[in-house]
Amino acid sequence: MKKAISIFIFALTAHCISAESGHQLWLRNSKANPVTIVCKKKSATIYLAMEELQHGWQGAANASFVLTVKPDKAIKGDGFKLSANNIQANTDLGILYGVYELLRRQRTGRPAGNETCNPDYERRILNHWDNLNGTIERGYAGLSVFWREGDNAFVVTETDRQLWREYARANASVGINGSVLNNVNASPDMLTAEILNRVKAITDILRPYGIKTYLSVKFSSPAMIDGLNDSDPLNPEVIKWWNNKVKEIYSLIPDFGGFLVKANSEGQPGPQDYGRNHADGANMLADALKPYGGLVMWRAFVYKPSGEDRAKQAYNEFMPLDGQFRDNVIIQVKNGPVDFQPREPFSPLFGAMKKTSVMAELQITQEYLGHSVHLVYLAPMWEEFLQSDTYQTGIGSTVARCTDGSIYPLKHTAIAGVANIGLDTNWCGHHFAQANWYAFGRLAWNNHLTSEQIAGEWIKLTFGQIAEKADPSGTVIKAEWNLNFLKPVKQMMSDSREAAVNYMMPLGLHHIFAPEHHYGPGPWWAPGGVRKDWTPPYYHQADSFGIGFNRTPSGSNAVSQYHEPLRSLFADPQTCPEIFLLWFHHLPWNFKMKSGHTLWDEICYHYDRGLQEVRQFQEAWDRAEPYIDHRRFTEVQSKLREQCRNAQIWKDACLLYFQQFSRKPVPYDMERPVNDLEDLIKMDFRKL
Ligand code: GCW
């Protein structure tokens, strides 16, 4: 039988042919069909929902679609019920979220079904580490979208408003409903009248999109701004100062979200400066905010050069305070016990604090994962974290369930991500870094989505690859996703985090970065006079015996902070998952791994694998060239080249440095290092 001949025509929509800047993110213009919208309710948010539907409708032409705001017990918070011709919600914002979900489904080919979609967390918040002078701590995508220096620093221009609108729309489209507008290393000026007026202007733009604004505050603000004698949280003058300040803020912004506080951490002031504890400090602010419905997000990122293992310190400080916080305080805990490393076990505080609301802080900006140069899709890391079982209330006590109210009756639930957004045209510096912003929002809404599903959605929305199958006469017989593009690009994204772990810090190694910028390798960096816990040798502990940080009972005993069976599992090198081996153990170079290799050989193979994986990403991307616009193709291609050069440097630097201790050859069946250690040590990694 003669096979039917068919040809593929790749539908190059207008945006593919014209130059692509990436500014549109995953919200691309596509030709909409006419639709009749029926909605009785009127509000700024409903107006936005109707506008989005009108401009984005991909369903049948001239269909009629009903939006209904009507209370329903099955719908929680700003959730919604979605069906083929109707969205129902309790709130106007629920309608807007429903519209974004519907349009996403239409554009990614998923049916609207008959579903109720409720958010897993009440607050889904971006943390901007933006300084008032416009710079961004750990920001790699240009200056702040909110703040700037100079004569017009406080003038709100139409360009500002337009950008804030685009920002708000992008966030709302993935369900993000809060923004902390400034760095946790906060300037006291943040609470001065001029700045608060700008916060009001920003909030007015963000409000119809359902985004609340929050501010990071410096704990010593009363003394610093108004010259009070101290900022002791039990001092009545200080309490009065905060009450007045909060009143002033709410008179400008009646729906203000609340405060985020970094206290007694990395030199920031806090209640301990006055002999008080975290609960004293957090509760004082919580009491001031309570009458207005505001929240305090109090960070648990604390450690001191005390001789105690840094990984244990947050737990030591916060566990004794469990149950002492007001119900409008949430303790904000970084996913891992150290600091946003390429891989860490979950922080033992999750699930352990049973009488306090605890929220996770993730880092979307890639401080430790290649800045805006490396292509690293972070959702697999977040998925691994959220699905980690803490065992705190038996099997299935995952971090996700311990934080979203499924297990503990939490008054407030929330999740935060440190934003990767700046003034760069494509917002994030790297086109693929947009996927991390997108993925954070999607996981904050539904913490059970898989990283793979999110990647698939994002690729379809961002690159819009549809292949049309036509018969020989040119008649389209089927439109389908272009798998030649979708599959390999999704694979590249899914593999990218593990690749970065491999070429940077495999097998539980951590924090072996060059100092300050945290970009390139610096396993050797340990000048005299520097705090030990800021130097890589503190973390890798390489010596002639072996490598790794002993956190078992014979070492720092950090394993004791985990619930059984994890405690025993982590404490035994035979049962400890190999991905965490050197996090918990100091092992001899010839320790036998599950693969049969010695530890040294295994380390070498991991570094080399990481490098080879990046080379494969380069090839996969080159093969994707026919299907994508020139600008985004070449920009990503060039970044992948740089990532590959960097991966080579990571591999060479770590292997040649550790080899001085292992005194063993690099396995003969793998590629040799190509750089000299002396050169690497002298290199300025800021210019890697
Ligand atoms: O990861 C470290 C960063 C600091 C940051 C700190 C924190 C905002 O290197 O730049 O400060 O964490 O999270 O407070």
Give catalytic status of residue 266 as yes or no: yes
DSSP string, 342-371: SS-PPPTTTTT--SSEEEEEEE-S-TTTTT
Q: What pLDDT does residue 482 have?
A: 87
Task: Specify whether 111 is located in the same domain as 134.
Answer: no
| Tokens found for residue 387 | 């699905």
Q: Which of 254, 503, 479 has its CA nearest to residue 375?
A: 503
What is the reported pLDDT for 221? 98
Residues 95 and 197 both lie in one domain: no
Output the residue whose Cα is nearest ligand 1's atom 11.
Answer: 185
Of 136, 301, 362, 363, the one to substitute when testing ligand 1's pocket (max ligand atoms within 8 A of C-beta) is 301
Q: What is the DSSP letter of 513?
A: B
The pLDDT of residue 29: 78
Q: Domain holding 233: CATH number?
A: 3.20.20.80
Probe residue for ligand 1, chosen from 266, 298, 519 as the CB with the greatest number of ligand atoms within 8 Å: 266
242 in a structural domain: yes
Query: Could you tell me if the CB of 515 is within 6 A of ligand 1?
Result: no
Q: Look at strands 357-363 and 476-481 and give their pairing.
A: unpaired
DSSP type of residue 398: B
Instruction: Enumerate the β-bridge partners of residue 311.
Output: none
Cβ atoms of 200 and 232 within 8 Å: the answer is: no
Rounded CA-CA distance 59/348 in Å is: 47
What's the CATH code of the domain at 69? 3.30.379.10
Residue nearest to atom 3 of ligand 1 (CA): 138
Examine the domain organization and report whether 296 and 410 are in the same domain. yes
- Supply the pLDDT for residue 113: 84
Q: Are residues 653 and 682 in the same domain?
A: yes
Same domain, 107 and 46: yes
Catalytic residue among 367, 383, 384, 613, which?
A: 367
User: Does ligand 1 have an atom closer than 6 angstroms to the CB of 339?
Assistant: yes
Q: What radius of gyration, in Å, describes the C-alpha atoms of the chain?
A: 26
* Ligand 1 binding pocket includes 519 (Cβ within 6 Å): no
Q: Examine the domain organization and report whether 227 and 301 are in the same domain.
A: yes
Residue 174 tokens read as 């993935």
Q: How far is CA 421 from CA 104, 363, 376, 418, in A?
A: 22, 12, 16, 9
Q: Is 129 in the pocket of ligand 1 (CB under 6 A)?
A: yes
Q: Which of 63, 83, 116 is the last residue of a domain?
A: 116
Residue found under tokens 């934003």:
419
The CB-side HSE value for 99 (13 A sphere, CA atoms) comes to 30
* Shared domain check, 27 and 78: yes
Residues 276 and 347 in one domain: yes
Q: Is position 470 within any domain?
A: no
**Ligand 1 pocket residue status of 128, Cβ below 6 Å:** no
Range of the domain at 178: 123-453
Statement to judge: residues 164 and 190 lie in one domain: yes
My answer on whether 165 and 105 are in the same domain is no
Does residue 253 form part of some domain? yes
Residue 685, SS3 per DSSP: helix
Q: Measured at the alpha carbon of residue 250, what is the angle toward residues 206 and 188, in degrees to the nearest 5?
A: 85
Q: What is the mean pLDDT of each run of 10 residues along the chain (688 residues)?
A: 39 46 92 95 98 95 97 97 96 98 94 94 98 98 97 95 98 99 97 97 98 98 98 98 98 98 97 98 98 98 94 98 98 98 98 98 98 98 98 98 96 98 98 99 98 97 75 67 92 98 98 95 95 95 98 98 98 98 98 98 98 98 93 97 98 98 98 98 76
Distance in angstroms (rounded) separating the CA atoms of residues 54 and 519: 45
Would you call 20 a catalytic residue per the annotation? no
Does residue 57 form part of some domain? yes
Give the span between the Cα atoms of 28 and 23, in whole angstroms: 9
- Any long-range contacts for 675-681 (C-beta under 8 Å, 24+ apart)? 675/648, 675/649, 677/652, 677/653, 680/521, 680/649, 680/652, 680/653, 680/656, 681/524
* Residue at a domain's end among 66, 85, 116: 116
**Predicted pLDDT at 686:** 65
| In a domain? residue 468 | no
Residues 209 and 320 in one domain: yes
pLDDT of residue 312: 98
Same domain as 402, residue 537 = no
**Residues facing residue 298 across a β-bridge:** 261, 331
What values do phi and psi take at 211, rounded to 5? -105, 120
Strand partners, 418: 127, 363
Task: For residues 602 and 607, give the distance between their C-alpha atoms in angstroms, rounded to a whole number.
Answer: 9
pTM comes to 0.96
- pLDDT value for 684: 76
Strand partners, 415: 124, 360
The answer to whether residue 516 is domain-embedded is: yes
Looking up residue 672, the CATH number of its domain turns out to be 3.90.1330.10
Give the nearest ligand 1 atom to 137 CA: 10
Residue 563 lies in a domain: no
Q: How many distinct structural domains can be found in the chain?
A: 3
Of 92, 116, 140, at which residue does a domain stop?
A: 116
Does residue 482 form part of some domain? no
User: Cβ neighbours of residue 541 under 8 Å, at least 6 residues apart?
Assistant: 547, 548, 549, 550, 586
Q: What is the DSSP letter of 504?
A: H
Is the CB of residue 586 less than 8 Å from the CB of residue 309? no
Distance of CA 115 from the midpoint of ligand 1 (Å): 40
Q: Is 340 in the pocket of ligand 1 (CB under 6 A)?
A: yes
